[in-house]
Structure 1
Amino acid sequence: MTRTLTLAMLVIALYVGVPLVFGHDLYLMSLAVASLTIAGVALAWALLGNLGGMVSFGHSAFFGVGSYISALLTLKAGWPVFPAMLAGGAGAVIASLAMLPALRLKGPYFALAILAYAQIFRILATQFSGLTGGSGGLSSIPSLPTMAGFDFGSKTGGYLVILTLVLVFALAYHFLRRSYIGLALRAMHESEDATRVVGVNSVMLKLSMLMLSALMTGLVGAFNAHYINFLEPDYAFNSSWAVVPIIAAIFGGYRTIVGPLVGAVVVYLVDQLVLKSLLPTGHQIVLGMLLVTMIIVSPAGLTAMAFRKTRRGAYAAS
């Protein structure tokens, strides 16, 4: 009950408290939206790495596919924004099916194969200029709509949309991990051959995790396209959409649900509010140093370190 009440209070604070306190400051709200955008991709990456047992360097492929499909449907087919975003997520799932041959690979070979797919999608977006605008990109992408008198295209509206997406992702991750599928995935991590012997199709399990991770990332990419109203291949398929969420997930603790979310917010806000002002160029080098330090001090991430300190404090108080 205490844990449920704490989570409920946190959700209320995120939905009500943040807009009330910071809603007037457009810069801070834009930082909140950007950090949650990274958090959504970080959570998708952590789901694939933790449950699926696959490390990916190519989530920018799903991000870019989702963003382009949603943008093109609204620009050229006249779709409403929210259905187009769902289609963008579905498009990212379809794109993940092209990566099915890579599921036979393991470890760094799989990671490099997915990275290669991301580059292929970027080249395709550049070459099909008649559809995607090529290197010139797409401009005037429709913003998030106004519904029931509330403008979701505003900073506060965008914050509420991406916050809802991230929380839905977290709930899906939570229930999946506690399901029989999560049990099968954990067993597969211990011994993939043993799970095959008892009738578990490990390839299909991996594919399902890849598809779910792609769906999550594609939805975030679609949201981002309508939030910034502009796309071009080097931005949509930029490797930073894979690297920064990886840093955030590992920094926060990718084997937990909260870890990637906390890591994304901390890493992005520290980078933008502190490091960027101190080091206008090269500030991301400090992020790398912080990540290495965190791995040495607490390999399980920031949330695990905070939990250990809280637990020690509870023992001391008792």
Structure 2
Amino acid sequence: MRRAVLLPLLAAAWVGVPLLLGHSNYVMSLVDAALVIGGIALAWALLGNLGGMVSFGHSAFVGVGGYVSALVTARAGLPVPVGLLLGGVGAMLAAAVMLPVLRLRGPYFALAILAFAHIFRILATEWSSVTGGAAGIAGIPPLPVVAGFDFGTRTGAYFVILAIVCLFAWIYARVAASHYGLALRAMHDSEDATRVLGVDSTLLKGAMLLLSAFMTGVVGAFNAHYIGFLEPDYAFAGLWVTLPIVAAIFGGYRTVTGPLLGAVVVYLLDQLLFKELLPSGHQLILGALLVAMILFSPRGLQPLLARRRDA
């Protein structure tokens, strides 16, 4: 039943959005940005929902993924699609450095990951011979032209980022439906009990951290090629933490499509409506909306819509 609903919606989004909004580069850029945030929110929700770990440091994976892809394409001359994959691999390697913090729990884990994000930002700033330092990297190759179609345009980029987030949503759903997903959900109730049954909780959590980092790194790499410029304060900015978390919680981080829905709704509302109503303090409205959602529907927007549909 879900497939019967989701597939037509996906087809409509794939074709309908460019037809309706493709004439406006500004609106398409907002849609692209919302999907970038949605991809990061999806990766964050995977780690939080399946791995049971709250991260405040996903900006590390966004930044590392962007820098790796920018360097291997701009300086080594590799194709952009290869750069996107290597950006994900680079983010996985960054996550591998963080694996020792899996021994920590709760806020200690979240703060440790945040500390790593700051370390990577400092490295990107100080290692100027490779990263360009505070001046950043300019002239990052855009998304390629394939069979005469330019994926470097706002509409072309929409097809790429939509394909990326849909692929990652499918991977998330497959993992959640597998016996690994069952073991991870059981760990939330009693990690000690699952260990007695022979489940290696540390290994599973590490796998979720690596997978979440890879997904985030690919999205970060896409964003680097999309904007064509990268510098440390932007690549490792706090917005890559706050906005995806808000989107995931608002949409329903315990569902697969909730973070994507939350990102589109939250970001577009903020940019198209709240910013017009309150230009200098529109984040206040966004914060109030999030508080209201947590109070009246703690599981997020998607479960709320599902309950209303069933009613």
What is the TM-score when the length of structure 2 is the normalising length?
0.99
Please show how residues 212-231 of structure 1 align to structure 2 within 5 Å. Answer: 212-231=211-230
Shift of 1:190: 1.2
Shift of 1:310: 1.1
Return the letter of the residue paired with 2:6: L
Q: Deviations over 1:119-173 (max 9, x none)?
A: 0000000000111010111111100000111101011110000000000011001
Task: Tell me whether 1:50 sits opposite 2:45 in the alignment.
Answer: no
Shift of 1:196: 1.2
Task: Provide the residue aligned with 2:236 in structure 1.
Answer: 237
Task: Tell me whether 1:69 sits opposite 2:68 in the alignment.
Answer: yes
In 1, Cα distance between the equivalents of 2:183 and 2:16?
Answer: 39
Q: Which segment drifts farther, 50-59 or 15-24?
A: 15-24
Detail structure 1 runs of 4+ shifted over 6 Å in the superposition. Answer: none
Shift of 1:307: 1.2
Q: Deviations over 1:28-71 (max 9, x none)?
A: 11111000000000000000000000000000000000000000
Task: Provide the residue aligned with 2:122 in structure 1.
Answer: 123
In 2, Cα distance between the equivalents of 1:235 and 1:118?
Answer: 12
Aligned residues: 311
Q: Which segment drifts farther, 6-15 or 263-272?
A: 6-15
In 1, Cα distance between the equivalents of 2:23 and 2:160?
Answer: 18
Percent identity between the aligned chains? 63
In 1, Cα distance between the equivalents of 2:242 and 2:101?
Answer: 20
Please show how residues 58-137 of structure 1 align to structure 2 within 5 Å. Answer: 58-137=57-136
Task: Provide the residue aligned with 1:281 in structure 2.
Answer: 280
Task: Tell me whether 1:147 sits opposite 2:141 in the alignment.
Answer: no
Shift of 1:3: 3.2
Q: Deviations over 1:245-284 (max 9, x none)?
A: 0000001110011211110000000000011112221211
Shift of 1:308: 1.2
Task: Provide the residue aligned with 1:315 in structure 2.
Answer: none
Q: Which segment drifts farther, 79-88 or 21-30?
A: 21-30
Return the letter of the residue paired with 2:270: D
Shift of 1:109: 0.6
Q: Which segment drifts farther, 101-110 or 277-286?
A: 277-286
In 1, Cα distance between the equivalents of 2:66 and 2:287?
Answer: 28
Return the letter of the residue paired with 2:292: T
In 2, Cα distance between the equivalents of 1:168 and 1:230?
Answer: 26
Task: Provide the residue aligned with 2:187 in structure 1.
Answer: 188
In 1, Cα distance between the equivalents of 2:288 and 2:228?
Answer: 34
Return the letter of the residue paired with 1:6: V
Q: Any unmatched runs of 5+ in structure 2?
A: none
Return the letter of the residue paired with 1:239: G
Q: Any unmatched runs of 5+ in structure 1?
A: 313-318
RMSD in angstroms over aligned alpha carbons?
0.8
In 1, Cα distance between the equivalents of 2:54 and 2:4?
Answer: 34
Q: Deviations over 1:169-204 (max 9, x none)?
A: 110011110101001101111111111112111111
Q: Which segment drifts farther, 197-206 or 61-70?
A: 197-206
Task: Tell me whether 1:201 sits opposite 2:231 in the alignment.
Answer: no
Return the letter of the residue paired with 2:239: S
Task: Provide the residue aligned with 1:17 in structure 2.
Answer: 16
Task: Tell me whether 1:250 sits opposite 2:246 in the alignment.
Answer: no
In 1, Cα distance between the equivalents of 2:277 and 2:91?
Answer: 38
